[in-house]
Structure formats: C-alpha cells, structure tokens
Amino acid sequence: MPDIIRLLPDNVSNQIAAGEVVQRPASVVKELLENAIDAKATQIQLLIKEAGRNLIQVVDNGTGMSATDARMSFERHATSKIVTTEDIFHIKTKGFRGEALASIAAVAQVELKTKKEEEEVGTRIIIEGGDIVSQDPVNTPTGSSFLVKNLFYNVPARRKFLKSNSVELRHVFDEFHRVALAHENIHFQFFNNGEELLRLRSGSLLQRISEIFGRKIQNQLVPVSEQLDWITLSGFIGKPESAKKARGEQFLFVNRRFFRSNYLNKAVQDAFEGLIPPRYLPSFFLYIEIDPEKMDVNIHPTKTEVKFEDEGSVYALLRTAVKKSLGVYHVAPSLDFDQNPDWNFVPAHKGTPVVEPKISINPSYNPFERQPDKPAHSEKISLNELYASSRQDVLTSDLFDTPSLPNKESSLLRLSNGRWIIEKEDNLWILDPYRIHQTVLYENHIKNSKGNALSQQLLFPLERPVYDDEKEKLDSIKTSLFAQGFDMDIEEDIVTITAIPSDIPQEKIQELIDDLLSELSEHSSEEFSMFFSRSVSKVSAKKRNEFIQASQVLPIWNSFELLKFPAFNPFGKRNYEILKIPNLD
C-alpha cells in the first residue's frame, strides 16, 4: 500500500497559515500599523479603498529597512525581535513571530518601498501570492510604505465570505482606534476612497480619546491611577450616566497592546454595581503596565488574548482602583478612611452653654404586648408568595380568552411590586401595567405607521454626539427614519434632529435613538418598521412605579381590551397571569 502522508507545498501551507492571521482587511490594517509602530514611526498614514478589499496602504516615517532585511521580512518566522525561547517572555514590541508579512503576501499582491535614513536609495519589492516578482532600488523617503492590493485574489472562497463594505469598514475602524488609543504620541491619518476620515494629532491621552469619540466625551470621563511595585494602572472611566447598552467604548491595554478579557471587563463592571442599570456597560480606557515576564501574549495568532501570571490580583486592582476613582471624584458615595474620627465635631460658639443630651423614653411600652392589627387595606401583598401558593391552580392557556374586565376603580388593587391585581369571578388576574402599555403602544404605532407618518418640527433642534460606528448605522437607516417622521443632519461627530414623529414625546427621543443604535442590526424596511415600533413602545411606555392610582390603569385597559387581551408584549414577556382562588371552606 503506498504512503499517503506528504508535505504540503509552500504556497498551500502559507495560505492555510495566513488564515489564522489574515481573516479580513482589518487584520492586515492591524499588522501593518503595528509594524510601523515597532519601527519607531512618529507619523503614520492609513489609506484604504473599498473598505480594504482593493487596497490597503500604510506609510510611516520609521527607521526603514535595508535591502536584505526587506526581503527577509516576508519569510515565515523571520524576525528581529527574538533569538531564543527566553526572549518570548521579555517581548515589549507588537510583532515578534514573523508571521504577519508572510501571511499577507500569501493572499494578496504586495508592494514594499523602504529606506533607512543613512542610505541614499531604498528598496522596492513586489510580491504576488507569496512569490517575489521583483526587487529593485528606488528613490523613496526614509521609512516604509506597504501597499496591499486585491486581498484574497488567489483564494476566491475567502474573498466571497467578506461582508459588505460598511461592515468591513467598521472592523477597520475598530482596529485603527485600538492602535491609535494605545499610542497617543503618534500622529495618525486615515483615508478611505481618497477622503480623509480621521486626523489624530500627537498629544495627551484625553485629547486622543476626544478626537476619536467626540469632544463631548471629555466631560463624561474620570481619571484612574494606581501604582504598585509590580503593576501600574492608568486611564479613564466613564461616569455612570454615560453607560450604554452597546459594547463599544470598553478598551483594555497591557504594555500598550490592546487585549480582550471578559474576566477583567467584569472587574470594571462590578465596580459600577448599584450605579448603572442592569445590562448597561460603562465606558473605560484602562492601561496596564506590567513586567512582560508576568504575562504571556503568545497564546493567540492575533495576540488579542493575554494570560497573566496572577490574574486574580489584576482583577482586584482593577475593581478597587475604579471604585476609588468613582469615590474620589464624587461620582459615587465613599468613605474617607484617612480622616481622623476625632475631628468629626462641630465647634460651639463662644459663650454658648453646653446642654447635656437627653433621651426620651416611653416607660409604659411593653414589647411583649400584642399590637393591634393594621387595617386590611394597608397590608402589602407579596406576588411571589401568592404565586407560589397557587401555582398548581394557575389556569391553562385555554382559558386565556377575551374576558370582559369591569371598568371600576374599586376592582383594582396595587401590589407592592408595581403589578396590579383584579378579581374576576373565581380568578385573580395579576397584571403588569408596563408590559400592557408597551403592547398598546406597539399595536397603535404599527397601525398608524401603515399610512404616512406625521412629523412635528422642533423649535429647538436636538443635538447628539455620534461616534464613527454610530454614524455609519445612522446613515444606513436615515431613509427609514425619514419615513417614520424624523428629519436630521449628520455632520462630523454631531447629529442634529430637526423633526420627530408626532406621536413620540420629545424627551424620549434621546432614549429612542440610543436604543436603535445599540440594538439595530441589518433589517429590511418591513423589519425595521416593526423594530422601530418595538423601540417606541419600550421608551414611551410608563414604568410600573408611574401607575399609582387605578384611574391611571383603566384607560390602558380599555385600549388593551380592544386588542383582545394578547398574552404577551412585543418582547415576548407575559402581560398577565391568572390564578385560581383556592376554596378555603
């Protein structure tokens, strides 16, 4: 029987290996930007076309390379960063494996121009599909210019699975932001299809953050700083009121390298416990400096995962430092443990007599004497206890038909948890007024949106800062929002809303836009209409604690009755439960 195991050809093995490093245009952007930083560049330009499909170019003023180094840089596992295995544990640069350029060259057409400062001429190398086509001397400025064309041209299956230009551009933005946020001392420029999208001047970290995410973010940030013998933490966290549902402004860096860690993200989230609503995420830009020997970045091809020697201590430091900053800057209540408790007194005015404090007591009070029962109408009913005791008698879904509820305020009783209860024949109906109101608003909005949406012009336009990814989403749904009654202009990092739908309160518009941007994915026009109606119902419905009197519940029930009492709200949550009253005879 013939042997069946054989070595793969170099071009095949290179393409397979490239799949681990080069997943999309953003992967190329990341590697080329990091190479420029390792070359000690102070100015870096990123130019792309068609979201990086057709062209990605990174130009830097770094140290450049000699003709020999330029050619060697495209060989797999050729690197200037490590010589022995021990060097891996002292890495302070971005790249060190020698895989990036070889992987990129295996799946694209690459041109490199580079020159060292002390040399008169530079080198120009052209590579296609991993094969060197030419290498010639060239007149070029000091530094390097990497040009990557037609990514995945020789791997059609990979190119076919790239997403739309808007999605791929968003990924490029993400990588660009991560690199730029880690190096505020470098001047960056970003061009797409010949248009300059970002120009980031070298400066302070706060300046870099505001240039990327908008000037208004400066007022939302609180500095964080903590230094121990083995680790240093610095950066900024967002105030609780700036927390969002969308995950977008959470950045962790170690030794100026962006990394992901759900575990350490939770440390920051825990520090905000009680300050932000559930499922909301705080903004943070946190930078860890630690001895490279105490961590390992060599555990993932893209080097976005980091393993710390003592991850529990890093978690504790993050959580404690963030809590401390929230207290120091009066964002959250804090205790001053440095203050001497003996100083906590108010000095009396001169000549004021000192009065001995007196305690008033009731000598006739008997704690063992039974207190009179409170009136029955003041007792609070626990829904959990009521539900648990009667769960086996809950009516089946067959009985969830359309009963006629009595429209009498006296028939409604408010529970302590914000629900309402009503007795109907031998059953107790436990109602959720918030979900019911959502259902009514949703159905009404769906019905009204089938015609021409009515719009109201605003006397004073609303302004909201938008980040690059949000701006892209707004652009994609602008036509759909216009059909719903909105009118808006998007310029730079501000969206100005001049008209809103007539059936949405103006004070709810900000919350509605936030919800749309945080939850929206790609939808058809019909799907968008339903999604928009759900968002309207979510932000416009009265909360449970706003239903205080029965007279506030009855109008909603009248509308709900016309809908034939649907059992679920637009988000799949039950509007009511029916419990059978047990016979105690």
Rounded Cα distance between 236 and 244, Å, is: 16
Q: What are the start-end ranges of the H helices in 243-330?
A: 262-271, 311-328
CA atoms within 13 A on the CB side of 13: 8
Which of 191, 228, 172 shows the shortest CA–CA distance to 44? 191
- Residue in the block written with tokens 């009498």: 408
Report whether 434 contacts 542 (CB < 8 A): yes
For 462-510, the three-class secondary structure string (H helix, E strand, C coil) is EEEECCHHHHHHHHHHHHHHHHCCCEEEEECCEEEEEEEECCCCHHHHH
DSSP conformational letter for 148: E
Largest CA distance in the chain: 113
Question: What is the CATH topology of the domain spanning 212-328?
Answer: Ribosomal Protein S5; domain 2 (3.30.230)
Rounded Cα distance between 525 and 477, Å, is: 9
- Give Cα 39 to chain centroid, integer Å: 32
Rounded Cα distance between 282 and 279, Å, is: 10
Q: What are the start-end ranges of the H helices in 138-273?
A: 156-160, 165-182, 205-213, 262-271
Question: Is residue 514 within a helix (H) or strand (E), and if so which, with residue range?
Answer: helix 509-519
* β-strand partners of 137: 123
DSSP conformational letter for 305: B
How much is the pLDDT for 581?
A: 73
Report whether 104 contacts 75 (CB < 8 A): no
* Residue 91, SS3 per DSSP: coil
Q: 10-residue block means of pLDDT along the chain (585 residues)?
A: 70 61 89 92 96 95 92 76 52 60 90 94 93 93 95 88 86 93 95 92 92 86 92 93 79 91 90 85 93 72 73 92 87 51 50 68 60 41 36 36 48 77 76 88 77 74 74 77 81 80 80 73 61 82 81 82 83 84 67
Rounded Cα distance between 408 and 465, Å, is: 47
Within the chain, which residue ranges are assigned CATH 3.30.1370.100?
403-585
Which of 77, 152, 164, 79 shows the shortest CA–CA distance to 109? 152
Which of 428, 427, 438 shows the shortest CA–CA distance to 568? 438
How much is the pLDDT for 319?
A: 93
Class of residue 534 by CB neighbours under 10 A (exposed 0-12, middle 13-18, buried 19+): buried
Class of residue 127 by CB neighbours under 10 A (exposed 0-12, middle 13-18, buried 19+): buried
* CA-to-CA dists, residue 577 to 384, 421, 443, 448, angstroms: 12, 10, 21, 29
* Residue 228, SS3 per DSSP: coil
Rounded Cα distance between 52 and 300, Å, is: 23
Rounded Cα distance between 317 and 331, Å, is: 19
Beta strand residue intervals within 215-323, DSSP E: 221-227, 231-238, 250-254, 257-259, 284-290, 295-296, 307-308
Give the number of other Cβ atoms within 10 Å of residue 73's Cβ.
22
What sign does the CA torsion over 364, 367, 369, 370 have? positive
Rounded Cα distance between 202 and 200, Å, is: 7
Within the chain, which residue ranges are assigned CATH 3.30.565.10?
10-203
- Residue in the block written with tokens 């999604």: 531
Class of residue 328 by CB neighbours under 10 A (exposed 0-12, middle 13-18, buried 19+): middle
Overall size of the chain counted in residues? 585
Rounded Cα distance between 520 and 509, Å, is: 16
b/e code 450-484 from CB counts within 10 Å (16+ = b) = eeebebeeeeeeeebebbbbbbebbeebbebbebb
Within the chain, which residue ranges are assigned CATH 3.30.230.10?
212-328
How much is the pLDDT for 116?
A: 94
Which of 140, 142, 138 shows the shortest CA–CA distance to 118? 142
Question: What is the CATH topology of the domain spanning 403-585?
Answer: Ribosomal Protein S8; Chain: A, domain 1 (3.30.1370)
DSSP conformational letter for 244: B
For helices 165-182 and 468-483, angle between their N-to-C axes, nearest 10 degrees: 150
Report whether 398 contacts 547 (CB < 8 A): no
- Report the relative pairing of strands 250-254 and 284-290 from DSSP bridges: parallel
Query: 10-203 maps to which CATH number?
Result: 3.30.565.10
Rounded Cα distance between 543 and 394, Å, is: 26
Q: Which two tokens stand for residue 393?
A: 């008698």
* Residue 21, SS3 per DSSP: helix
